[in-house]
Structure 1
Amino acid sequence: MTRGTIPDRWSMRLLWVCALGSAVGLYMVAVERQMQNRDKMMAELGSLESSGDSGEDD
Structure 2
Amino acid sequence: MGARGTVGDKWSQRILWFSAIGTAISLYMVAVERQAQNRARAMSEGLMGETTSGEEV
User: Is this a same-fold pair by TM over 0.5?
Assistant: yes
Gaps of 5+ in 1: 54-58
| TM value normalised by structure 2 | 0.77
In 1, distance between residues paired with 2:25 and 2:53?
41
Identity of aligned residues (%): 48
Q: How many pairs are equivalent?
A: 52
| TM value normalised by structure 1 | 0.76
Q: What is the RMSD computed on CA atoms of the aligned residues?
A: 2.1
Structure 1 residue ranges (4+ consecutive) displaced by more than 6 angstroms after TM superposition: none
Decide which structure has greater helix share.
2
Gaps of 5+ in 2: none
Residue 27 of structure 1 corresponds to 28
